[in-house]
Amino acid sequence: MSRIRIDAVLIQAVIAGALSFAHLHDLAAAAGQDGWKAWAYPVSVDLLLVAAWRRMRTTSDNRAAWAWFIIALAASLGANVATAGLLNLNDVPAWLRILVAGWPALAFLGGTLLVHSPTTAPTEPEPVTAAPLPAPSEPEPVPDVTVERAPEPAPELPPAPASEEAAASPVSAPAAAVPPALLDHARKLADTHQATTGSRIDSATLRARLGVPAPLADAITAQLA
């Protein structure tokens, strides 16, 4: 079971509201507004105060709300001061009677303007979105290359007989055939390598880039020289 907590601020607000309500009633009654009309005046002042306060809480441009709040507060404080013995309630001046009689129309105008004026909510900063990263460039497609296997080196010939005047010259292995498409691709790789490193591409690097046997890589390197 929840306990009722006594709030000192709430008690003070009830006391202040009751006294202000009574002062406004007494002033309206002294100004010629008798019966239920005298009780309607404090309700009208309090409602205008609440409307102006709510307007100040819900809009950024609250100059009009502050103006009507000050008007309603002046009416409430004026009634409190007037009924404190500074004014003869048995002989209320004519200007005060005019103000009391004209208050309903003034309160209606203020309440209408506060309720039906467009509400300007505080603008929030737009979220900052990061710029999209550029899409990675696609690698250059490698052309389909058919790598021809280098022919087997010819077997060594037996040594010539000693009686012959000149020994036969050794037989060199035939050069590997390089397809034109593979040669063009290797030339592009060599140009890129020289532009990047500043030196010519060697046979080992070209072999690793193309994935070809060493003899074919040597033959391509020789044709690129």
Q: What is the DSSP string of 199-220?
A: S---HHHHHHHHT--HHHHHHH
pLDDT reading at 30 higher than 60: yes
Angle at 105 between CA 103 and CA 110, to 5 degrees: 90
pLDDT reading at 139 higher than 70: no
Helices 214-224 and 203-210 pack at an angle, to 10 degrees, of 120
Lowest mean pLDDT among 21-35, 93-107, 207-221: 207-221
State the DSSP code for 162: T
155 falls in which pLDDT band (50, 70, 90)? low
162 falls in which pLDDT band (50, 70, 90)? very low
- 153 token code pair: 């080196």
Alpha-carbon span 178 to 175, nearest angstrom: 9
Measured CA to CA in angstroms, residue 170 lies from 37, 45, 166, 176, 210 at distances of 134, 123, 12, 18, 31
* DSSP E strand boundaries for the chain: none
The residue with tokens 């890589």 is 217
Alpha-carbon span 18 to 12, nearest angstrom: 10
Q: Which long-range contacts link 70-78 to residues 24+ away (Cβ below 8 Å)?
A: 71/106, 71/110, 72/45, 72/46, 72/48, 72/107, 72/110, 73/49, 75/24, 75/45, 75/103, 76/20, 76/23, 76/24, 76/45, 76/46, 76/49
173 falls in which pLDDT band (50, 70, 90)? very low
pLDDT reading at 169 higher than 80: no
The better pLDDT of the pair 158, 186 is held by: 186
